[in-house]
Structure 1
Amino acid sequence: MNKQVKVLVIEDDPYICDLIFLYTEKSGYQVSIANDGITGLGMFYDRPPDLVILDIMLPEMDGWEVCEEIRRFDKTPIIMLTGRGESYDKLKGFSLGADDYLIKPFDPNELMARIKAVLRRANPMLIGNEIIKLPLLEINLQQYKVTFKDREIELPPKEMELLYFLALHRNQVFTRQQLLEQLWGLDYEGDSRTVDVHIKRIRDKLGESNSYWKVKTIRGI
């Protein structure tokens, strides 16, 4: 990360707070916790975070009110937590401006995946360097520009983001599903082969005759 991402957790259940704190801190985030809505809102204004994890059922001021108040002035990403899974709650959360919605009990690894996905959609620069430089290749996500062998290569936004993600996580292997979740979102319902199509287009534009690096497929994975 080019900066430590600040996460504000507004949740009154001590066990859930401890669980979220453990996983988010392990992932490299800077975490603050409030146990009621009014305190949480005050912490939000005193030290603006990059993302808010917000419970719905809170003392003093519920999550709906907190979300609505934040959205009056700010677009900081919000992931809402609730023990209820009714579609009405989801629709209300999204109508108030929530970016994602997770039902308790939840897998903390899924929460981490959703945090990354929401941060990437809101501000890709939060999860990596603005410019990645490899031999013969420069990827500038701030300007959405790729330079290869000293010439600019035209890449649509999704191809750009995919190339950036792979270059940011060099020597790591990702399944199609992982790439879809990271770049297309957890709710993507299209064909998983769209990843193959984008990879092929990237290879066609950058070529394979490069001894410094390559976009490599691990068959079966």
Structure 2
Amino acid sequence: MLRQMREAMQLATPVLVLTARSALEDKSLGFSGGADDYLVKPFALEEVVMRARALLRRSKQLSDTAFVLSHGPLRYVVAQQLVTVDGREVRLPRKSLMVLELLMRYAGRVVSRQRLEDYLWQGEPPSAEALRGQLHLLRKALNVHGYDGIETVHNIGWRLASPDR
């Protein structure tokens, strides 16, 4: 499951596996599946805290420089929440930024209404027009900078168009 999440969403969140499974084969599966660290029970809570802090410290160093989503002229520096089109900064409200991030993570693939709503509102049902409103704000902000690459796929969802269209 972790491997699939990392591949599908370009997930960069550090993962510490806490388990009772101590066999080398289990550890190998954990690390090859995308875990950053692996701790076998019994363990002291202080050790979990130390390992978690170390993982967060390393991930912060990486995220400050490494996690950038790009699609044609569109670029999103996740750690700084900085969006640019052809190098010009685009200011977006938080929810519109979240829509853009998910579309960029799945660039070229259709992202369903349900997936976007779950990502934005995490299970809390939004009003019927809330998502459309965020998409409108996003499109409007990007269009000002000459980007019109968000496609509606009728009755399915939205996607970022191929950058060469």
| TM-score (norm. length: structure 2) | 0.59
Q: Secondary structure at the match of 1:155?
A: coil
Q: Secondary structure at the match of 1:189?
A: coil
Higher relative contact order (CA 8 A, sep 6+): 2
Q: Secondary structure at the match of 2:79?
A: coil
Query: Partner residue of 2:52?
Result: 48
Unaligned runs of 5+ in 1: 15-21, 52-75, 77-122
Q: CA deviation at 1:3?
A: 4.7
Contact 1:137–1:147 (CA<8 Å) still a contact in 2? yes
Contact 1:177–1:192 (CA<8 Å) still a contact in 2? no
| CA separation of 1:183 and 1:158: change in aligned 2, threshold 3 A | same
Q: CA deviation at 1:179?
A: 1.4
Query: Partner residue of 1:195?
Result: 131
Structure 1, residues 157-197: CA drift from partner, whole Å, max 9, x if none?
A: 221122122112212222222112223223x1322532221
Cα RMSD between the aligned structures? 3.7
Q: How many residues align?
A: 134
| TM-score (norm. length: structure 1) | 0.47
- Tell me whether 1:207 sits opposite 2:137 in the alignment: no
- Tell me whether 1:151 sits opposite 2:88 in the alignment: yes
- In structure 2, how many angstroms separate the alpha carbons of the residues matched to 1:23 and 1:197? 41
Unaligned runs of 5+ in 2: 1-9, 22-28, 157-165
Query: Partner residue of 2:38?
Result: 32
Contact 1:8–1:31 (CA<8 Å) still a contact in 2? yes
Q: CA deviation at 1:9?
A: 3.0
Instruction: Find the partner of 1:7 among 13, 16, 21.
Output: 16
